[in-house]
Amino acid sequence: MSKKVNKVVLAYSGGLDTSVILKWLQDEYQCEVVTYTADLGQGEELEPARAKAKAAGVKEIFIDDVREEFVRDFVFPMFRANTVYEGEYLLGTSIARPLIAKRLIEVARDTNADAISHGATGKGNDQVRFELGAYALNPNIQIIAPWREWDLLSREKLMAYAEKHGIPVDMKHKQGGSPYSMDANLLHISYEGRHLEDPAAEAEESMWRWSVSPEQAPDAAEYLDIEYVNGDPVSLNGEVMKPHDLLAHLNKLGGKHGVGRLDLVENRFVGMKSRGCYETPGGTILLKAHRAIESITLDREVAHLKDDLMPRYASMIYNGYWWSPERLALQTLIDHTQASVNGWVRVKLYKGNVIVTGRDSKTNSLFDPNIATFEDDKGAYDQKDAGGFIKLNALRMRIAGNLRNKK
């Protein structure tokens, strides 16, 4: 146990784990607990969390709707970089953690709390993300991570503790609940554990919550027009939408067409490999559309530089370095490139696929049909120039080839 704690802000969902943590903090630290619950678009009713916290004696209860801030200030900046971790993962859980860390620190400041606490286990990435973010925003904050201190290291022990202390337990927990550890927000829903701990076992169809299987998706394709301003989507099929509303609508449309399912084994920051399944329908559409609008509005070398830097940027987010100086510096570069990323993209959704069928930018297109044409370009491009261009680029290889031939 660390130094004396008078008040702690707990990231609280109202589920089994954080309900046990709330009581454990009160007993072990003899401190006042403030609860903080974020509405990130997870699709669950959050008012029961307020009632549970109040019944546990909590006097200061915070429940925030941060959906717009989440998409506007975290998801969209990440998508400007076309961010994908290890070639596949769209970072749905990772990108939510810096926002929660930010709000925990703000609530701690506003309530004069001297510590924050979270329910992340000692094996996962979230403990790193929460705590790196918290320390970056308040270097002197004290952090309590119960899973690294207590001996309640199984569901059975948590249940026994809850029953001993009269903590209400949902029927789903008593009956075994979902066989998966799940996390949801407006960008995605994730599934880990139990059946999925065998990387060779196919995920059960009944597991998926947001999407139909491609086999069950409609036989008719659906077209969407997405408009971009400074690299961010602003309207869908001509209707201007707030960021969180646009993403929520894309989730429904993508899920309807079986878009956005992913099954992968990823490398956690703490060192182990982990198998997870993800549903990111709206994000999958936006990634494809954003690359399409960039294809006609970004200079070649700028686009390639972004592609070179993207894996490092993705690792920063995955590993919890959203608030680090290197991520902030890289974001400045990324955002600078997006000033010209304006226009529209048309995509077709069909049985799990997102197919780009058109893109245009009236103000920033670098596509010149007079030069690119396969017909007579009327002198816009002198094909004879290509000969010297090729010879100069081949010069070093020609020199090396002549040297080889002398040996």
State the pLDDT at residue 177: 55
Same domain, 216 and 150: no
pLDDT surpassing 90 at residue 15: no
* 354: β partners: 349
State the pLDDT at residue 179: 67
Same domain, 132 and 256: no
State the pLDDT at residue 57: 95
**393 to each of 236, 381, 386, 389, how far by Cα in Å?**
44, 19, 11, 6
User: 149, 177, 205: which is the final residue of a domain?
Assistant: 177
Same domain, 126 and 212: no
CA distance 288 to 100: 28
User: 117, 144, 177: which is the final residue of a domain?
Assistant: 177
Q: Among all residues, which ones are annotated catalytic?
A: 17, 97, 126, 181
Collapsed DSSP state (helix, strand, coil) of residue 75 = helix
State the pLDDT at residue 324: 98
Domain contains 41: yes
User: Which residue intervals of 87-231 are DSSP H helices?
Assistant: 97-110, 126-137, 155-164, 171-174
Same domain, 223 and 353: yes
Instruction: Give the domain CATH number at 196.
Output: 3.90.1260.10
pLDDT (mean) for 364-370 = 94
pLDDT (mean) for 47-59 = 93
Q: Exposed/middle/buried for 39, CB within 10 Å: 0-12, 13-18, 19+?
A: middle
Same domain, 147 and 268: no
Q: What is the pLDDT of residues 293-337, one digit of tens each?
A: 999 999 999 999 999 999 999 999 999 999 999 999 999 999 999
State the pLDDT at residue 176: 53
Number of domains in the chain: 3
Name the CA dihedral angle for 198, 200, 202, 208, rounded to a multiple of 10 degrees: 50
Q: What is the pLDDT of residues 279-303, one digit of tens each?
A: 999 999 999 999 999 999 999 999 9
Q: What's the whole-model pTM score?
A: 0.94
Same domain, 390 and 345: no
Range of the domain at 234: 184-298+341-360
pLDDT surpassing 80 at residue 174: no
| Whether 234 contacts 341, CB under 8 Å | no
CA distance 229 to 343: 7
Q: What is the pLDDT of residues 21-33, one digit of tens each?
A: 999 999 999 999 9
pLDDT surpassing 60 at residue 2: no
